[in-house]
Each structure stands twice: as structure tokens, then as C-alpha cells.
Homo-oligomer: A and B are copies of this chain.
Amino acid sequence: MTAGLFSFELRATDTLSAARASTFVTPHGAVEMPAFMPVGTQGTVKGLSVDAVRATGAQMILANTYHLALRPGEEVVKTLGGLHAFSGWSGPILTDSGGFQLFSLAQNTKVTEEGASFRSHIDGDLFELSPERAVAIQETLASDVAMVLDHVVALPNDQSVVRDATERTIRWARRCREAQTRGDQALFAIVQGGLDPQLRADCARALAELDFPGYAVGGLSVGEEPAEMYRILQATVPAMPADRPRYLMGVGRPRDLLEAIRRGIDLFDCVLPTRNGRNALAFTDAGPIRLRNVQFQCDPRPLEYDCPCAGCRHSRGYLRHLSMANEMLGPVLVSVHNLTYYQRLLAATREAIRHGRFSEFADAKLRGWESLED
């Protein structure tokens, strides 16, 4: 698939699963997929310089339209040169549309066919977001990939509520496309449909007809069991175009990534590596390390011997000390490690897919994580 400044090319497809390796080209560089985007909510991956983010192996980052529109405001970002110059991140950037934050953060959200109005979680100011406004803000921010405004609802919910929100999401996707004016920004559609496989597949097919350059699965990882999420992916992904990037929004744990890749997903974002990093929980191939545990007080080993990250140049004992002493460097170094862990996992996954051994790779990783149950 080539569309203007963007292209998506499949490099390898697994024979035993729907996993695939691909290259997605944007105006700010190529992304080898499957890929994981660190979350830079407010135009910064919490605590990390852009060099540190790059050093983890990250290729593309995510920023949040809702947060940036509230503070500092998209016009300030534009005046300072757009998101790339603003944040200093020269690689590809994806912005979400604010749909998820309307659902999770905003207060007194009212959704009509026209759009959503809500109170800011910062100062309670009234804010209005329509499909057109969501596109306009993202065009002002100047990300490489913009997301359509979707209508996210709590799960489980009445079938009629979910169906209504899903159908609105499709109508809003069309309005977003019609509002688009930039040729250097790819707009991705979002599949909704709750936990109803049929609704999900119908939504995916309806959006596919609109011919977007990329498709996301939204409204998952909102409290449902992982098995539920895998079941929904199983039903949804085959109805999404095979020649476009497929992005699973807001997911997830390392095992969720492999299970989703197995079902045909190419792109992820999630706050887990950085949020857990700030809470002194480190990911490793042998399961999680909770650094505040006293057993690590005098542990001279790095989190992982073979990890090249800046955190792994220190002992677990030192990282624990930083955490116990409430030193900023603790969250920074454990976030660096966790993001590096995710990027190394994705790099190894791409390699496994290209060499036709994804299933054995994934199974071995999953066995190693058996103690990783958070």
C-alpha cells in the first residue's frame, strides 16, 4: 500500500499464525513492525530525554491530543514548530484523537451526534471535541499519524449502547476523513464494537470500505479478561485490510503483545513500561522484579545481564536504594530498562517472524514469563 508520503509493505508472514513483519514508511522515517510506541502523553516520555528514548530502540512515539490541547494548547505547539520541533523527537509521531481520554479522564462528558463536550480534568474548563475538531487539532500538532475521533464506552454495557457507539464511530470516521486537509498526515480509523465479535467484524468491514491508510482496534484493555481481548482480536483482525498497518491501542503486557501479534497486530502503545518503571517494577525474561522488595537491598546484579540499557549498568541494590529514597533517577532508570525490554522483545519478534519461527519464539517467551502475572 502506498498513499502519498506513506507506504506499508509486508516483509514476511508467519505460516502457523497471523503474525507478520512489515515496514511502515512515514514522512519522518520508517517503522519496522511489529512495533511498540512509548507513550509521550504531554510531548515527553516521562523522565526520558529524546536521546534516551531513541537509545531504547524506539522508532515511533505516541502523544495525546487531549492533553496537549489542554496544555500548552495546540497553537503553542504549532508556534514552536509543531510536535517534532516542540518535543525534539525527529522520528515518526502518532497522536490519538482524545476519544479514549473523553471516556477515561474528562468529567461530565456529554456525547451527541455532533461531538463531545466535557470539563477539563485540569481546571474544569468546558472543552468541545467533534470529529472535525479532533482532526484540526491533530493537523495543528502536525503528527505523522492522526487517529479518528471514536466513541468509547464502558464495558460490559448494554448491547444497544455498544451498537450505538460503534455506529457513531463509523459515522465520525467518515467525517474525520472529510475534514482532513494535510497530505503529510495519515489518518487511521478505529474499530469499536465492545466485546461482541459480530459487531467488531461488521465495524471493521464498514471502515475498510472507507479505505483508510491504517486501522486500529480500540476500546480494549479496559478491564476485560485477557482471554476476552484475544477472542475479540481473533474475530476482528481478519476483517481488517491485510495491506494496511493494524494498531492495537493501549495494549499491553509483554504476553498481550505476543498474543496480539500472533493474531495479526502490527503496532502497539502502552503506559505499562513507564508507569511500572515509576513504581519500581522491572520487566525481565524471568518475570517481574519488584525492586522495593527487601531481597534486592544488597543484590549486586543488574536487572538483566544481557541488557544494554543505562539502568542495567547499575545494581538492583542501587536501583532499590533510589526508589526507597524517592530519588528521580530511580523512575528514570527503571523506565529506561522497561522500554528497552519492550523494544528488544519487539526486535526479537520481528527477527523470529522473518525467520519463520515466530510460534516457537512466542511459546518460549510465554513460558519464561509464567510468573509475570500483573
Q: Do the beta carbons of B51 and A310 come within 8 Å of each other?
A: yes
Q: How far is the CA of A329 from the CA of B52 in the complex (A)?
A: 11
Partner of A72, one of B81, B86, B297: B297
Identify the closest chain B residue to A331 (Cβ). Answer: B328
Q: Give the contact stretch, choosing among A20-28, A136-144, A280-288, A313-321.
A: A313-321
Identify the closest chain B residue to A73 (Cβ). Answer: B297
When distances are taken between beta carbons in the complex, the residues of chain B under 8 Å from A327 are 42, 44, 46-47
Identify the closest chain B residue to A45 (Cβ). Answer: B329
Partner of A80, one of B46, B315, B322: B315
Partner of A298, one of B79, B297, B321, B332: B79
When distances are taken between beta carbons in the complex, the residues of chain B under 8 Å from A51 are 310
Q: How far is the CA of A298 from the CA of B85 in the complex (A)?
A: 12
When distances are taken between beta carbons in the complex, the residues of chain B under 8 Å from A49 are 310, 329, 332-333
Q: Do the beta carbons of A87 and B318 come within 8 Å of each other?
A: yes
User: Which A292-331 residues have C-beta < 8 A from chain B?
Assistant: 297-298, 300, 310, 313-315, 317-318, 320-322, 324-325, 327-329, 331
* Interface CB pairs A-B, < 8 A, 20: A42-B322, A42-B325, A43-B321, A44-B329, A47-B327, A47-B332, A48-B329, A67-B325, A71-B324, A72-B317, A76-B297, A79-B298, A79-B300, A80-B300, A80-B318, A86-B315, A86-B317, A88-B313, A328-B328, A328-B332
Give residues in A with beta carbon < 8 Å to B: 42-44, 46-49, 51, 67, 71-72, 76, 79-81, 85-88, 297-298, 300, 310, 313-315, 317-318, 320-322, 324-325, 327-329, 331-333
